[in-house]
Structure 1
Amino acid sequence: MIKINNLLSVGICLLFLGCSTDEKQTVITKKTLVMSEEFDVAGAPNPDLWSYNIGTGNNGWGNNEKQYYTDRPQNIIVENGNLKITARRELYLGSAFTSARILTKGKLEQKYGRIEARIKLPLGQGLWPAFWMLGANSDTVIWPACGEIDIMEYLGNSPTKIFGTVHGPGYSGGESISKNFFLSNSRFDTDFHVFGIEWDENKINFYVDDFLYHSVTPSDVPGEWVFNQPFYLILNIAVGGNLPGSPNAETPFPQSMLVDYIRIFE
């Protein structure tokens, strides 16, 4: 269930973080827990927090994806303490695959803070799960001017790699500001990992398991910095599309993304 409070967390953790020698020591601050979605009530996702996108890419999310997003329990359910989003190979209303995409638009919109989720990812060519955010003004300001923060994106044929990205005016799609993170002793489809950002008016830091691998500031983007407004959360598994390509005969279905929790700190 969703929990909103003003509890102080355990404090400040000092770690040496980074993916290259030019990264510096960073302070990870978990101060005031303002939201925790623990997925501890079985059934449909909490309607006070989550809405659904229903349909195909023709509804506006594009990328030539192959799935039909539904709200059926076959595609999305809370069970065993996890949110479970499942992509299936099945004929459904003209599409060859089904999946789910949920969002907090109009229900939970956050400006700044630490935003993290503990997730286990699926495996297979053509699968494209993500934990990401769009500017709350996305209905009136056309993407990418509304801004997009991809806290975690993953391609199912690369089980040791994820990437974090920002999109905005002048730096979207293939021109986005993005960086990969590679696991050396584990895989994203066999274990849960924590994906997060720390975000303020002049910086967005990207983390995997509290390891800093990517940092973006206004000086890093060639256009306007559009990350000084509230954003809403999105969770989904896309199937196919411009980035991952289509599933092949070896792609196992069904495949699920499991989300243990989402937490926001200010």
Structure 2
Amino acid sequence: MPTETKQELIRKIEELGEAASSSMTVMQLKALLSELKTSAKESDRFALQNKLQALNKAAKKKATLQALADDMNVSYTASNTIPQIYAKVEEKVSMEHPGNPWDKVNFGKHAECNYKDILETHRSYGQWVIQTTKENPTGAHWRLRRLAQWLEENWDTPVRKGPEIRSLTRPSSSRGKSSGYQPTAQDLADLRREMMEPHSDSSFVKVNPSDSEQELERMKAELEQLKSENAQLTRQAERSKSRKEM
């Protein structure tokens, strides 16, 4: 078996939510990695992964998936399809485990991001997630609620990078206008402060003052699109609930 390099060990440590210095020896890095793998936090992470793997395996046959749902006290109807039952069990399993920095968002524009990415580089989006969940705590999709809970619990945790500004994707004008959502004055004030105030962190992406208005418009359009995406998730949840009650 090939020996792991220092870079590989550092990457694995960072994937577990911890930082490692390049000045550490290979033996020190291996010792730290071993400690992290046996920690309670890491055990919780793998517990969720194992349950989701079991769910994926059970979903190959409806009868097996129904048996798993029964074991977990997840209600369903005989007319429910495999994807519908899968969604119910996935929600139950995921909500029983606390969020992890390396969990995937799995919805919206930042679906491919990890939870920690939202905290570190998309904090304005994170503020929207938290606020939207507070405004509609029972109607918001469970993925949104789970991310919001983790963000609130870790919001003041020191991060290694400042808010990312220029990486935001410009949505099309037609999609941006469709939702009719208008960000609050506080939203715009927070965004302006993030762009204009100096940051000591060298990894922060600086924006020239002359670009501020353009960036504000981009952020405004993105907030509008996020509102539309959450409404779509909510409608999907309502349709699923309606089918269950029929």
TM-score w.r.t. the length of structure 2 is 0.24
More helix by share: 2
More contact order relative to length (CA 8 Å, sep ≥ 6) = 1
Structure with bigger gyration radius? 2
